[in-house]
Homo-oligomer: A and B are copies of this chain.
Amino acid sequence: MAEFNVQINQDVVFNHDEALLAKAEANTPAIHKTPVVPAAIVELAPDATKQDGWGTVPAATPIAELDTIGLTRGKSLILDFGDHQVGTFSVDIESVGSPMDAPLYLKLSFAEIPAELAADPADYDGWLSKSWIQDEYVHLDVLPARLELPRRYSFRYVRIEAVDTSLKWAAHFSNPLVMAESAVDMGALTVPELGDPELEAIYRVSAKTLADCMQEVFEDGPKRDRRLWLGDLRLQALANYATFDNVELVKRCLYLFAGMTAEDGRISANVFTKPEPVPDDTFLFEYSLFFTSVLSDLHAAHPDLDLVRELYPVAKKQMDYTLGMVDADGRLVTSDAYPVFVDWSHEFNKDTCGQAETIYVLRQFVELARLVGDADADAYAARLEQMVAYAREQLFVAERGLFVTTGEEFNIASQVWMVLAHVLEGDEARALMERAAAELFPVRGIATPYMYHHVVEALFEAGLAGEATSLMKSYWGKMIALGADTFWEAFDPDKPDFSPYGSPIVNSYCHAWSCTPVYLIHKYLL
Contacts and interface: CB of A to CB of B under 8 A. Distances in A.
Given A8-B97, A9-B98, A105-B129, 10 more contacts: A73-B130, A99-B272, A100-B272, A101-B225, A101-B272, A102-B132, A105-B131, A127-B167, A129-B165, A131-B163
Nearest to A142: B274
Given A6-B168, A274-B141, A101 B131 contact: no
Interface stretch (A277-285, A362-370, A402-410, A462-470): A277-285
Nearest to A281: B98
A328 to B, nearest CB: 36
Interface of A: 3, 6, 8-10, 73, 97-105, 127-133, 135-137, 139, 141-142, 144, 151, 163-168, 225, 227, 272, 274-275, 278-281
B105 A10 contact: no
A272 B100 CA distance: 8
A30 to B, nearest CB: 20
Given A10-B97, A98-B280, A99-B278, A141 B151 contact: yes
When all copies of this chain in the complex are counted, the total is 2
A129 B142 contact: no
Nearest to A273: B142
B137 A3 contact: no
Given A104-B131, A129-B105, A139 B151 contact: yes
20 contacts: A6-B167, A9-B98, A73-B129, A98-B281, A99-B281, A101-B227, A101-B272, A101-B280, A102-B129, A102-B132, A103-B129, A105-B129, A105-B130, A129-B164, A130-B163, A131-B164, A131-B165, A141-B151, A142-B275, A144-B275
B130 A168 contact: no
Contacts of A135: 137
Contacts of A280: 98-99, 101
A93 to B, nearest CB: 13
A103 B281 CA distance: 17
Given A100-B272, A130-B73, A163-B131, A139 B136 contact: yes
A6 B165 CA distance: 14
A98 B165 contact: no
A470 to B, nearest CB: 38
A331 B141 CA distance: 43
B142 A131 contact: no
Given A10-B97, A99-B279, A164 B274 contact: no
Q: Which 6 pairs across A and B sit closest by C-beta, in order of nearness? A: A102-B129, A105-B131, A130-B164, A103-B131, A137-B137, A129-B166
Contacts of A3: 101
Contacts of A129: 73, 101-103, 105, 164-166
Contacts of A102: 128-129, 131-132
A206 B129 CA distance: 46
Contacts of A101: 3, 129, 225, 227, 272, 280
Nearest to A133: B105
Contacts of A99: 272, 278-281
A135 B141 CA distance: 14
